């Protein structure tokens, strides 16, 4: 009897009807672009819910806080440098960028900017945790949608898929290990870790994998690699 849910063993990004044949293309299929935008929008909504919950920022923001603490940079500039370093790490992993790599930063930033003022904030810790968990689930589903579009992952998602291909470990394990490592580095450098941070680190990998697993079951086709 299997004790581990099947989605935790997912190793590949499925190729479904909205998947682009190529990640790097100047003429992507319209359906791929639409699902890319929809997925990135949901990704941004999920991150906004995590911020609104007020129980801890995302692991990569903790790292940016730690870098800010030792360098004196702004958190925005620290985030930019971190993203640049992650993109450099793509080179040995042979990751392919695309319009999704650019739109990742643009769309998620816009969603955070315009949605956050309208999201509820709670004083009760259970409601805060509920909002944070919802944020992780929505982020994971949005991540699954946009990665399947195959138009280029964002810097961190590309690092995840690249490491998965090199290690041949399940996506959920790779992402969770990556996020926990980032938390540890950020905390050592002086970043602030909250309960929501840990929830995100442990939940985002399984959430993305579960989304891909369910979507593949609903729209069963072949698989692709990013």
Alpha helices of 149-194 — where are they, by DSSP H?
155-167, 171-189
What pLDDT digit, counting tens, does each position of 162-205 carry? Answer: 999 999 999 999 999 999 999 999 999 999 899 999 999 999 99
- Taking the model in full, what pTM does it have? 0.90
Give the three-class secondary structure for 193: coil
Residue 1's pLDDT band, with cuts at 50, 70 and 90, is very low
Find the helix or strand (DSSP H, E) in which 140 lies.
Answer: helix 125-148
C-alpha distance across the termini of the chain, in Å: 32
CA 6 vs CA 165, 171, 182, 209: distances in Å? 19, 12, 26, 10
Mean predicted confidence (pLDDT) in 86-90: 93
pLDDT at 109: 83
13: which strand partners?
224
């Amino acid at each position: 009897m299997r004790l581990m849910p099947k989605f935790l063993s997912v190793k590949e990004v499925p190729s479904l009807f909205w998947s682009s044949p190529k990640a790097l293309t100047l003429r992507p299929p319209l359906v791929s672009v639409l699902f890319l935008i929809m997925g990135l929008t949901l990704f941004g909504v999920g991150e906004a819910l995590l911020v609104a919950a007020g129980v801890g920022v995302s692991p990569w923001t903790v790292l940016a806080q730690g870098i800010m603490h030792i360098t004196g940079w702004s958190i925005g500039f620290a985030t930019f440098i971190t993203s640049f370093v992650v993109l450099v790490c793509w080179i040995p992993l042979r990751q392919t960028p695309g319009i999704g790599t650019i739109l990742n930063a643009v769309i998620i930033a816009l969603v955070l900017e315009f949605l956050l003022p309208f999201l509820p904030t709670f004083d009760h810790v259970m409601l805060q945790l509920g909002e944070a968990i919802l944020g992780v689930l929505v982020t994971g589903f949005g991540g699954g949608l946009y990665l399947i579009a195959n138009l280029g992952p964002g810097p961190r998602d590309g690092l995840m898929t690249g490491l998965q291909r090199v290690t041949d470990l399940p996506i959920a394990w790779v992402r969770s290990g990556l996020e926990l490592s980032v938390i540890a580095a950020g905390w050592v450098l002086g970043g602030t870790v909250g309960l929501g941070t840990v929830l995100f680190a442990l939940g985002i990998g399984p959430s993305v994998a579960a989304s891909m697993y369910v979507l593949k079951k609903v729209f069963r086709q072949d698989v692709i690699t990013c």
